[in-house]
Amino acid sequence: MKPLSIYTVSASLPSSLIALKELAYNFWWCWNDEAASLFSAIDNNLWLELHRNPVALLNHIPKSRLEFLEHDKGFVEKLQSVHASFISYINSNSWFQESVSSAQYGKIAYFSLEFGINESFPNYSGGLGILAGDHLKSASDLGLPLVAVGLLYQMGYFRQHISSSGWQTESYFENDFYSMPLELMKNSEAIPYVVEISMPNSVVYAHIWRAMIGKTALYLLDTNIIENAEHPGYRDITDQLYGGNTETRIQQEIVLGIGGIKALRLLGIHPSIIHINEGHAAFATLERAHNIMHDCQTDFYTAMELAHAGMIFTTHTPVPAGNEVFPVSLIDTYFSSYWQKLGISREEFLQLGQVNSNDPELFSMTVLALRMSSYRNGVSALHGKVARSMWQPLWQHFLEEEVPIHHITNGIHTSTWVAGKLAQLFDTYLGTMWRTETHNKEMWKSIADIPSDQLWKVHQFYTSELVDFARTYLQNRKGTILSNRQKAYINRFLNPQALTIGFARRFATYKRANLLFRDIGRLKKMLTNPDMPVQIILAGKAHPHDNAGKEIIQSIIHAIKEHGLEDHIVFLEDYSMAIASAMVKGCDIWLNTPRRPHEASGTSGMKAAMNGCLHCSIMDGWWDESYNGDNGFSIGSTEQYASTEDQDRAESLSLYEILEQEIIPTFYNRNKQGIPEKWVEKMKSSIITITPEFSTARMVRDYTRKFYLPALQKYSSLQKNNLHGAKELRNWKKQIYQHWETVSFGTISIQGISHAAIGKPIKVYAEVYTGNLSEKDLLVEAVYGKINAQGDLQHVSKQILTFQGYTHGKAWFEGQFMSEFGGQQGCTVRVLPTHTLLTDNADIGLCTWAKQQ
């Protein structure tokens, strides 16, 4: 039955409470304890029932309760205080304004397929979305001129149910956008903005919603609108996150990338910088170039130079299979008219998303993003190395270490994830500056001054709270894992005094959730030891199409039941930010068991470590650069194995040994006051070393200094004087590509190697045939370093050879270097194109190495 008319009903608040609405419509409250407690005080049971959604709360509060609060002097005063803090936060000067000159200002647009801001807004699936949400929060804290763009999903990610047989099933529920902290964007005549995105059969229309994350605006596109009534399938494009089939995915990514750029343009937002969080939004690079073509009346390749200068790409996927690819047939269907609009051929368009023409059947979103971006990064030091190895074919003439993919290690938004009572303890011993100067390593050293009994008492509180949370959660879940008989004695499940191990993450096979269960008999002995009991809390979802991941969940559930371990191991289904928050605060150990080097970064362990929950992990992702022997535990080392079976066997044995010989004895080694002194010392070391280094406050500063500001400067320089710089760079590259084959080496002389010694100069002379190019276009380098067992150079250094002049039409270059260490070494020479407007000399992809004569 369709209604005659549709209208929106909102809460009507008394004048003394009107500030509640302003607070409700900004997610700032979710990292401000006072603001969160304000909403909780209205009706705590309803607050929890509505998943801490302040807008829904205000829409459900009876008028009588509002009237009572209106005359509650204490509540009104607290509201005024919290609102004043909010206004002060919004209006305050921040790091960006104080550190960056106004000449460097420029809008930054951050694109992501998912954003995890808070449990009340289920627009995320896991780590990628949580990272994006934390990025926006720190961008707000630091005052960056950043807006974000994503999709608004009618049903979000799936809800997980585990049957009595242990099999994961999925269900979906509809989000009510009008009961969320969202605003539908409208023009001056109060008519909603409508974005138009071309698809093969018709135009897709989308509304734009805005969520405010502190000072940062997040714009979200929604295709489930009446304008798409003639094409019902288009209404479903933003139906589910990671739902549907391959065609659904390309439609979503067209709406995100192309539609996202169109939405910003419609709102009058013209960013200088586009930052793509994973390859899903890579089509934004093409629409950006198209807009430049239109606005500046130029060709695609000139526009691409300007677009390229302001493009930043963060990759999160360390395995080739995890990178988004589309069949070329699908690209033909959706982009045949688009490449015509760009003024390029089909072959030129496809090459943008292909490593080479040897595999013409697939179009890679990661390759498109890598080609179209000027700054590229992995999300940990190890992942940066893995990414350079994976994508070296795009820069095949360069050494792996020179591939222009850098790394900025992920972080977490500290104020969102720190436990409230722990934050109060930090205030006492660090002062409140830790909230705004999170990255300050010296300040965090004062954690050592916290008396062990105080830190332990706070931790025990959250462990008890976690046990209560888990029991209540299991009790309230309908059907599924536990029988009614088991629910009847739920208070026997878990023990607030036992060593609690947490494992919560996506159930992908490489994450090896079953590593701990390889020897269930040995594990059971640990769990059921009456003198030193251990318990495990598990959570996490497998992708709906990942049957292997579902089988891992089922095998663990079967093992728990078969060995009667329900009291000691619980699985909290339908993993969410609320479950994550309870676990990282209350667990003693945070377990991470990926198959190295398949974990790009991981952030859940950072959240746990900041709360004094010790990380126990394979040396992968961020842990590879943070473990120091005192701040957690390492499973195995960095060994290479002959097979995955050998690796699983060895690392499971290592895990059992660490538990039996280190973790359990240390946890239960108590002083006369019942405090595990050595354990608490590790907790302090964890907080001191990990919190400042792995925060988004540090991470966003890194993006700003290393990428945003240089990109803003480069974009500005190429844009000036009617794209003079972009045109110059485009014309120069055209010349280079046309004439590079005419560049070659003549005579090369390396002198001083017969009696080489440390500190003694080795001189290099190189004769270069410049062909149709000038010596100013060329960078000639001596490349030298150690020789490995295969006879290849490794750990190389480079010395620029300077131009000396022409002799008989040949350019001469010379230079010298000195070896700083002994042993077998080698030297060669290379030439590559260079230009002052290039971000990286490797970007153009051309390099010629001297051949043995």
Q: What gap in Å lies between CA 354 and CA 281, rounded to an integer?
A: 16
User: Residue 364: beta bridge partners?
Assistant: 325
Which tens digit of pLDDT belongs to each residue from 378-401?
999 999 999 999 999 999 999 999
Q: What is the mean pLDDT of residues 540-544?
A: 95
Q: What gap in Å lies between CA 139 and CA 412, rounded to an integer?
A: 12
Write out the two tokens for 649.
């066997």
Backbone angles phi, psi at 266, to 5 degrees: -65, -35
Q: What is the mean pLDDT of residues 96-111?
A: 83
Handedness of CA 345, 346, 351, 353 (dihedral sign): positive
Q: What gap in Å lies between CA 7 and CA 816, rounded to an integer?
A: 77
pLDDT of res. 476: 83
Write out the two tokens for 458.
């706070």
pLDDT of res. 775: 95
Which tens digit of pLDDT belongs to each residue from 40-52?
999 999 999 999 9
pLDDT band at 1 (very low <50, low <70, confident <90, very high): low
Q: What gap in Å lies between CA 818 and CA 765, rounded to an integer?
A: 15
Q: What gap in Å lies between CA 500 and CA 233, rounded to an integer?
A: 47
Which residues 6+ apart lie within 8 Å of 827 measured at CB? 750, 753, 762, 764, 782, 783, 784
- DSSP per-residue codes, 471-506: HHHHHHS-STTS-HHHHHTGGGS--TTSEEEEEES-
pLDDT of res. 821: 83
Distance of CA 186 to the CA centre of its chain: 31
Which ranges in 670-708 belong to alpha helices (H)? 677-690, 696-703
Exposure b/e, 8-36, CB count within 10 A at least 16 = b: eeebebeebbebbeebbbbbbbbbbbebb
- DSSP per-residue codes, 583-628: HHHH-SEEEE---TT------HHHHHHHTTPEEEEES-GGGGGT--
Burial class (CB in 10 A: 0-12, 13-18, 19+), 760: exposed
Q: What gap in Å lies between CA 49 and CA 501, rounded to an integer?
A: 27
pLDDT of res. 515: 96
Which tens digit of pLDDT belongs to each residue from 814-843?
999 998 888 889 999 999 999 999 999 999
* Beta carbons of 169 and 163 less than 8 angstroms apart: yes
- Residue among 547, 551, 540, 665 nearest 590 (CA): 540
pLDDT of res. 100: 80
Q: What gap in Å lies between CA 713 and CA 32, rounded to an integer?
A: 35
- Residue among 69, 70, 13 nearest 42 (CA): 69
For residue 804, is pLDDT > 70? yes
For residue 788, is pLDDT > 80? yes
Which three-class secondary structure state does DSSP give residue 443?
A: helix
Which residues 6+ apart lie within 8 Å of 348 measured at CB? 339
Amino acid identity of residue 765, one-letter, is: Y
- End-to-end Cα, the chain, rounded Å: 84
- DSSP per-residue codes, 174-221: ---GGGSS-EE-B-TTSPBPEEEEE-SSSEEEEEEEEEEETTEEEEEE
Q: What gap in Å lies between CA 780 and CA 759, rounded to an integer?
A: 23
* Beta carbons of 819 and 825 less than 8 angstroms apart: yes
- DSSP per-residue codes, 123-154: ---SHHHHHHHHHHHHHHHHT--EEEEEE--S
Q: What gap in Å lies between CA 204 and CA 185, rounded to an integer?
A: 18
Which three-class secondary structure state does DSSP give residue 560?
A: helix
More confident residue, 680 or 476: 680
For residue 498, is pLDDT > 90? yes
pLDDT band at 344 (very low <50, low <70, confident <90, very high): very high
Which three-class secondary structure state does DSSP give residue 311?
A: strand
pLDDT of res. 795: 84
What percent of the chain lies above the pLDDT cut of 70? 97
Handedness of CA 81, 86, 90, 96 (dihedral sign): positive
- Give residue 705's region: left, alpha or beta (phi > 0; psi -120 to 50): alpha
Distance of CA 754 to the CA centre of its chain: 51
pLDDT of res. 7: 59
* Beta carbons of 803 and 773 less than 8 angstroms apart: no
Write out the two tokens for 757.
């010694």
Q: What is the mean pLDDT of residues 341-349?
A: 96
- Residue among 102, 17, 25, 29 nearest 65 (CA): 17
Q: What gap in Å lies between CA 622 and CA 50, rounded to an integer?
A: 34
Backbone angles phi, psi at 312, to 5 degrees: -125, 135
Q: What gap in Å lies between CA 691 and CA 699, rounded to an integer?
A: 12
Q: DSSP strand E in 679-777: where?
A: 744-751, 761-769
User: Residue 182: beta bridge partners?
Assistant: none
Which tens digit of pLDDT belongs to each residue from 727-768?
999 999 999 999 999 999 999 999 988 888 888 999 999 999
* Beta carbons of 523 and 516 less than 8 angstroms apart: yes
Lowest mean pLDDT among 389-403, 484-498, 626-640: 484-498
Which ranges in 230-364 belong to alpha helices (H)? 232-235, 246-254, 260-266, 283-296, 300-309, 328-342, 346-351
Q: What gap in Å lies between CA 253 and CA 250, rounded to an integer?
A: 5
Pairing label, strands 203-213, 499-504 = unpaired
Q: What gap in Å lies between CA 192 and CA 186, rounded to an integer?
A: 4
| DSSP secondary structure letter of residue 259 | I
Give the orientation angle of helix 365-372 with respect to helix 300-309, to 10 degrees.
90
Lowest mean pLDDT among 35-39, 472-476, 696-700: 472-476
For residue 504, is pLDDT > 70? yes
User: Residue 111: beta bridge partners?
Assistant: 149, 276
Write out the two tokens for 581.
């928050």
User: Residue 589: beta bridge partners?
Assistant: 501, 614
Which tens digit of pLDDT belongs to each residue from 280-338?
999 999 999 999 999 999 999 999 999 999 999 999 999 877 889 999 999 999 999 99
Amino acid identity of residue 292, one-letter, is: I
* Beta carbons of 847 and 397 less than 8 angstroms apart: yes
Write out the two tokens for 687.
């907080």
